[in-house]
Amino acid sequence: MPTFSAHDLHRFVQGVVVSAGSTAREASLVAVQLVGSNLAGHDSHGVGMLPDYIANVLAGRLVVNQQPTVVRDSGAVVVFDGGRGFGAAVGQVAVDTAIERVAEHGLALIGLRNSYHLGRIGHWGEQIAAAGHVAVHFVNVAGHPAIVAPYGGAESRFATNPICVAIPGSGAEPMAMLDMATSVIALGKARVAFEEGRPVAEGALLDGEGRVTTDPSGMFAHPRQGALVAMGDHKGSGLAMMCELLGAALIGGPTIQPGNERDDAIINNMLTIAIDPAAVGDAEGFRREAHAFLDYAVTARLREGFDEILLPGQPEQRSRVARTAGIPVDDNTVAGLVAAAESVGVPDLGAALAS
């Protein structure tokens, strides 16, 4: 598989997004977000998203250079409407505001409605944690038909609604960060399996009749036949529902129910809660106790088949180290990137990438 440096991918993404009409700053934020996902090992949210973004800009479903509007501002509580702007840009305004307000009030609750895809949610949690604060994010995914079945359901009723909790460390990396979809697997993983003609793991998919299947083809039929399964049975299904209620309904954003607009866009609504440990108690004591607990947790005797216990966030940290040597991007994704560059009139950028 060809590999690329983060620098080359950043330059490519930025060039294409500028050609689609974004300012250099907005394009750079998009590049940082996408390439950062590849570096963290989440290729499903990496540069492979760019063709979808560009197609949606050209179709008018994603608005370039959008400034989020303030719907409410009462100090520690701010709600923005992202106006379908690039998630990397309107999300940055929301997260910068969270960092500013938590420093002022000890606690901040920031709502962001109607953002285009916010990408890897850990990108946002990491920034709040790097500023020394705890971050909690509940996010829903609307703007398109549901793809995940509720526990007990034979058809889908919500999407892969992610949740993220980041705990500050002593440097730029969080001490621990859980950043996860609430489905067993992301749709992107099912798509890769489908394209490669492989089955998916047992327990991740239902067919059109609601029976467990390992065949991903129904998910990509028109109309779609089947659904992703929520992780952890009723528990993950319940968490995904809470993402609809807290991440969207509470802050005035659209849930995925069919009374709201669905035009095949990827709309995220995100509730962000930022907590300054010093506002709650003893920040140093929190750090000490958190370390003591995490050290205890990872020293459990190992089950057969396991050779270590990782903290949430460690796989991403390891990936960032490993991928400084180069980011693998498969041929299909490269072809999609070349086509995206052509669609906005910069085929030379695509040719340079593919060469």
**Which segment (66-74, 210-218, 232-240, 312-320) binds ligand NAD by CB under 6 A?**
312-320
Which one among 26, 173, 179, 244 touches ligand NAD, defined by CB under 6 A? 179
Is the Cβ of residue 99 or residue 265 nearer to ligand NAD in the bound state? 265
Interface characters, 38-67, with ligand NAD (x: CB under 6 A): ----x--x----------------------
**Which segment (63-71, 148-156, 179-187, 257-265) binds ligand NAD by CB under 6 A?**
179-187
Q: How far is the CB of 179 from ligand NAD (least distance, A)?
A: 4
Which one among 60, 145, 315, 347 touches ligand NAD, defined by CB under 6 A? 315
- Adjacency order of strands within the sheet including 227-229: 148-149, 227-229, 205-206, 212-213
CB under 8 Å to 334, separation ≥6 — which residues? 2, 353, 354
Distances (CA, A) of 285 to 140, 239, 291: 34, 30, 10
Q: Does 276 bind ligand NAD (CB under 6 A)?
A: no
Q: Does 186 bind ligand NAD (CB under 6 A)?
A: yes
Q: Does 236 bind ligand NAD (CB under 6 A)?
A: no
**The one-letter amino acid at 176:** A
Q: Does 121 bind ligand NAD (CB under 6 A)?
A: yes
Which one among 118, 128, 241, 353 touches ligand NAD, defined by CB under 6 A? 118
Report the interface residues with ligand NAD, using CB under 6 A.
42, 45, 117-122, 141, 160, 162, 164, 177-181, 186, 268, 310, 312-313, 315-316
